[in-house]
Amino acid sequence: MAVTKEEMVRWCQALVEPSADAAERSLEAYLDAIPRLDSLSDCSEGTRVLIRGDVDAKPGANVGDGDVRLRSMEDTLEYGRQRGWVQVIFGHIGRKPEGSLDKVAARLGELLGADVPLLSDWLDEESMTISDAAAGAIADAAPGSILMLDNTRRYDVERLLWKANADEAAAAADKLARLANSFAEKVATVYVNEALSAGSLDASSTVVPAAMDRVALGHYVAGEFDGPMRRCREADLVVFSGLKADKLDDLEAIVNRGHVKLVLSAGSLAMALAKAAAELDGQEFSMGVAEDPAHADKPYFIPRERIDQARRMVEAGREQGIEFVTPVDFVLQDGQASDLIGPGDQQFDVGPKSSALYAEKVSEFIAASKSRGDGKTSVAFHNGVFGMFEDERFAEGTRKFVGELKRMKDAGVEVYVGGGEGGKALDLYGEPDWVTHCFTAGGTVLNALGGEPVPYLLALSMATAK
């Protein structure tokens, strides 16, 4: 289904600046509108199917090491193999254009017990068309074959919409339309999204569906959204941390949905909340180098507008009965705990007093959960880590709190963990059964829990409506 430049202009503008109707539409409404994999059961042998795969993985030396995202695709790929489809997987590895999916293709082949050829240099960026070599390899593939296109982010077009406004999106529409149409002409007209973590405005996950005849959610992604994601949106407690203050946007969106009553925070996000609360109470709070303009180019720097944002959140929370819990001591750059952050200091972890405070708040939450009396099970969502846990000097806060996740689960609370660093911490300091569910993606979960539509769900719903 070829897409015109004018249609692509409207498509991209809807992606970068969703309408009020799109923004207000519930996650459940998006999911109900998008077909599932079984809707493609009538696709005959030899049908070429484009799979947006969760290939951003770092396979270790042995199967099962660093390949959880790849394993999440197995059921969908096996579904296609049984029907004799020619499946073409594409996606990115990291953020750097020079990254390659060679190890990913090799590991996926090991998991499936099949050869998964990697097609490099598959796009002519000047004409925005799939190369003849890649198109030929796909056309010649036998029924049941699985191929992989190398790192989509090696091409600038994949990233055109990342920070685009409506006008910039319109300017990029001609190039994006040519890309989408070339995929439809030379690769496939059937598209399956099996990449839970693909939450960015990558062209592969949000633009290419515009030219597809049929789209669907893969088995794993559909299962995550239909089950644990919907349940996670009912969280009463969120545990939130992060190095960058822009995580405040995610937290604000989650809080604004109206379910959360308790927020345990750490990292730069907590620094902003703590300073905001101190200002509201007429007190002083130093964030150290995090508020020094000389460090404005560093990821841990917290600009004034983030403090103002945190202040609005704390004020609203106090009116709505939402409690924000912030650290009361900090592990500084020398590895020592301190109740204060000096002007030249930087916090790298929460201190022992903070860990004790979090444990106390978890106890209160468990007690309240057991006595709520409405027959409902309480839900907790944990995202991020408390410090630079890859350095043992700054790992204790995270290590201790992983134990709190188990305590909540053992007490009957449903506990969900976002992917990324939260999942790594669970692997290091706990066991999988310490929580109810651990997602393979962090950003997408935050998006789904907040107020903005998940970009690829918006794209798939628009494609379905066509």
- CATH code at 9? 3.40.50.1260
Q: Give 238-267 pLDDT, tens digit per residue.
A: 998 877 777 888 888 888 888 899 999 998
**d(C-alpha 240, C-alpha 386), whole Å:** 9
Q: Tell whether 153 is covered by a domain.
A: yes
Q: Tell whether 403 is covered by a domain.
A: yes
Q: Same structural domain for residues 247 and 188?
A: no
Q: Same structural domain for residues 208 and 67?
A: yes
Q: Same structural domain for residues 163 and 304?
A: no
Q: Give 171-203 pLDDT, tens digit per residue.
A: 999 999 999 999 999 999 999 999 998 889 999
Q: Same structural domain for residues 165 and 250?
A: no
Mean per-residue pLDDT for 404-422? Answer: 92
Q: What is the DSSP string of 182-224?
A: HHHHHT-SEEEEE-TT--S--HHHHTGGGG-SEEEE-HHHHHH
Q: Same structural domain for residues 214 and 238?
A: no
Q: Same structural domain for residues 320 and 209?
A: no
Enclosing domain of residue 14:
5-227+453-465
Q: Same structural domain for residues 222 and 237?
A: no
Q: Tell whether 98 is covered by a domain.
A: yes
Q: Same structural domain for residues 264 and 405?
A: yes
**Does residue 65 have a pLDDT over 90?**
no
**Does residue 270 have a pLDDT over 80?**
yes
Q: Same structural domain for residues 205 and 239?
A: no
Q: Same structural domain for residues 174 and 222?
A: yes
**pLDDT grade for 223, boundaries at 50, 70 and 90:** very high
**d(C-alpha 310, C-alpha 246), whole Å:** 11
**pLDDT grade for 115, boundaries at 50, 70 and 90:** very high
Q: What pLDDT, on the 0 to 100 scale, is given for residue 224? A: 94
Q: Give 353-390 pLDDT, tens digit per residue.
A: 999 999 999 999 999 998 887 778 999 999 888 988 88
Q: Tell whether 442 is covered by a domain.
A: no
Q: Tell whether 440 is covered by a domain.
A: no
Mean pLDDT for all residues in the chain: 93
Q: Look up tokens 């042995």; give the residue.
A: 62
Q: Same structural domain for residues 314 and 458?
A: no
Q: Same structural domain for residues 258 and 205?
A: no
User: Going by C-beta distance under 8 Å and a sequence separation of 6 or more, which residues neighbour residue 208?
Assistant: 50, 52, 179, 180, 183, 191
Amino acid residing at 410: D
**d(C-alpha 433, C-alpha 443), whole Å:** 22
Q: What's the structural domain count of the chain? A: 2
Q: pTM, whole model, 2 decimals?
A: 0.89
